[in-house]
């Protein structure tokens, strides 16, 4: 689950009086906490894969809830950070660069997962969803109320509506399927893009208070904040390292 996250009244995204600092320690700490939770979840998943555990990640609501909470945290923080990107003097250039990094990482994940799991490789996972969701949310970074309204509609629709039309492989990335496709990671736009949109509204709410609610988190351990600053790199590397360590225990 990656964290290269990217920023409502109309025009507020251009107001220099409330410009946010380049780095917000509390935001990094939150993203770092999500990274730690993700690593713990994937480690448990790998333990089952190696036969050390028999947890039911597909049907046990505790595991499903844990995954949803971790994934939702990344997407919400992506929307918050998008507001900050939109306030930079070089906003468009920075956004394109960040989007390219995430899209490139998503492609790498697809290729690597195809090599490891050709039948269930990742076609549209968390990085794919973040990249497309940020692209869709970018025009709404200065319209927090509209972003919030649309986000709630996307979430509600994605949860409540299903139709067999969307079971077609070419439409899996949209959502609305009647069953989960056979893939190692699946994060469709409906309902998950809704959290990025809600995150942009939340980003403006925090910005109006100069991110004061997150100030106590800036004193979180440096290692946690480091994880939050380098979340994309950690996301790409943690599974090969975990799998490698568990493989060594078998050999």
Distance spanning both ends of the chain, measured CA to CA: 29
> In angstroms, what CA-CA distances link 74 with 18, 66, 145, 223?
25, 13, 21, 18
pLDDT band with cut points at 50, 70 and 90 for residue 11 = very low
Q: Is this structure's pTM higher than 0.85?
A: yes
pLDDT at 62 over 80: yes
Q: Give the model's pLDDT for residue 138.
A: 98
**Number of CB atoms found within 10 A of residue 71's CB:** 21
Q: What is the pLDDT of residue 20?
A: 47
Sign of the CA dihedral running 109, 60, 42, 52: negative
Give pLDDT, residue 251: 77
pLDDT (tens digit per residue) in 63-79: 999 999 999 999 999 99
Residue 12 has pLDDT above 90, yes or no: no
Task: Determine the Cα–Cα distance for residues 59 and 74; give it in Å rounded to an integer.
Answer: 22
pLDDT at 21: 54
**Residue 3 predicted with pLDDT over 90:** no
Q: List all residues 6 or more positions away from 178 whose beta carbon is below 8 Å from its beta carbon.
A: 162, 163, 164, 166, 167
């Amino acid at each position: 689950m990656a964290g290269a996250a990217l920023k409502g009244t109309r025009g507020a995204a251009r107001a220099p009086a409330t410009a946010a600092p380049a780095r917000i320690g509390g935001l990094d700490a939150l993203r770092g906490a999500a990274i730690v939770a993700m690593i713990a979840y994937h480690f448990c998943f790998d333990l089952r894969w190696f036969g050390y555990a028999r947890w039911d990640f597909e049907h046990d609501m505790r595991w499903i809830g844990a995954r949803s909470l971790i994934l939702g945290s990344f997407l919400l923080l992506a929307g918050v950070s998008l507001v900050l990107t939109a306030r930079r003097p070089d906003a468009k250039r920075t956004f394109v660069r960040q989007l390219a990094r995430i899209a490139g990482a998503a492609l790498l994940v697809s290729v690597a997962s195809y090599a490891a799991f050709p039948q269930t490789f990742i076609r549209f996972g968390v990085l794919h969803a973040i990249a497309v969701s940020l692209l869709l949310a970018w025009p709404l970074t200065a319209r927090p109320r509209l972003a919030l309204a649309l986000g709630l509609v996307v979430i509600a629709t994605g949860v409540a509506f299903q139709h067999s039309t969307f079971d077609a492989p070419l439409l899996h990335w949209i959502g609305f399927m009647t069953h989960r496709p056979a893939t190692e990671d699946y994060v469709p736009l409906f309902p998950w893009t809704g959290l990025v949109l809600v995150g942009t509204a939340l980003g403006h709410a925090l910005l109006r208070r100069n991110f004061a609610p997150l100030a106590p988190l800036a004193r979180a351990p440096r290692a946690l904040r480091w994880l939050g600053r380098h979340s994309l790199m950690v996301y790409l590397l943690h599974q090969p390292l975990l799998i490698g360590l568990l493989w060594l225990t078998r050999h």
